[in-house]
Amino acid sequence: MSAFFKMLAEKVESYIELRRSLGYSFKKQAATLRALARFVETEHLDGPLTQSMALNFVLSIEGAANGRAIRHGVLRRFCEYLAVYDARTEALDPRAFPRSRAIPPPRILSDEELASLMLACRRISPQYPERSVMLTMLVGLLASTGLRSGEGLRLDRADVDLVSGVLHIRRTKFRKDRLVPVHATTLAALRQYARLRDMAFPTPKDSAFFLSSRGNRLSKTGLALAFGAACKLAGLTCDKALRPHDLRHRFAVTRLAAWHRENADVQALLPLLATYLGHAHYTDTAYYVTGTADLLGMAADRALAYGGAS
């Protein structure tokens, strides 16, 4: 163990502790910095921490360009901290890994495609029926409420009121809690899932509402793997890949379409949709409004109707 590695590992931990004391969860960033320390140890590198060393570390990890840019940004801010203790630390060039701001458009499932996906969720992992039951309920919940997948994964049993049908969403993207009422059919499904879950895991390992096949909280990776398997089984992987987050987009679009069919004042109702989705401003909800052919057609018909009335 070199003196540089020992110093670097200690400063990594003190930096993580500092960031968390300021209110940041700092999980992915901490993993990146600890991976840097392991890289230095494995490659038998000596100090100081240089731009070349940082670039070699970032390039040693496979992944998308934006992922590399994010990791480099974490290292850049850490280097500013490390330079206080080791003046030889080089400042990293913020332009070394430019991030792409292109956001892939969401895939809005039709009613038939969503039905196929739900059927596939019930059929995955026949050797682990608990996994199929959990995935069916979680995917159904995301589709029927527009929750972020992380919000669903973080739900504890105490957050799900199986009497009144209200979800207590904590630690949202905007650091605010909110209450989300669910439809009666969703509540019935939640109650059924809870009964089956408790039969399968009478002594759960933690307080999570959604449990993996091992009886502990389902992880983000676990959801991604199970969701991908269900998409493949449903035949939804031929064109654009489907993400759990696309169900949130679908919820917003179908809610707006329903309001148009009801001839409701959509503009006046947008703040309600924003509150339900957990947005700080209803203008943020516009990001989720994808102009599907059906939605654009209904909006055009209403515009023409209003124009004809005048």
CA atoms within 13 A on the CB side of 139: 28
Helical (H) or strand (E) element with 16: helix 3-21
Q: What is the DSSP string of 203-242?
A: S-SSSBSSB-TTSSBPPHHHHHHHHHHHHHHTT--SSSPP
Active site residues: 148, 173, 245, 248, 279, 288
Q: Which two tokens stand for residue 68?
A: 């590399």
Please name the residues in contact with 194: beta carbons below 8 A apart, sequence gap of 6 or more: 157, 160, 162, 209
Amino acid 203 reads T
Q: Determine whether 13 is exposed, middle or buried from the number of CB atoms within 10 Å of its CB (0-12, 13-18, 19+).
A: middle
Cα separation, 33 vs 292, in Å, equals 42
- Residue 204 one-letter amino acid: P
DSSP-assigned beta bridge partners for residue 169:
178
Among all chains, which residue has been given the structure tokens 């956001």? Answer: 103
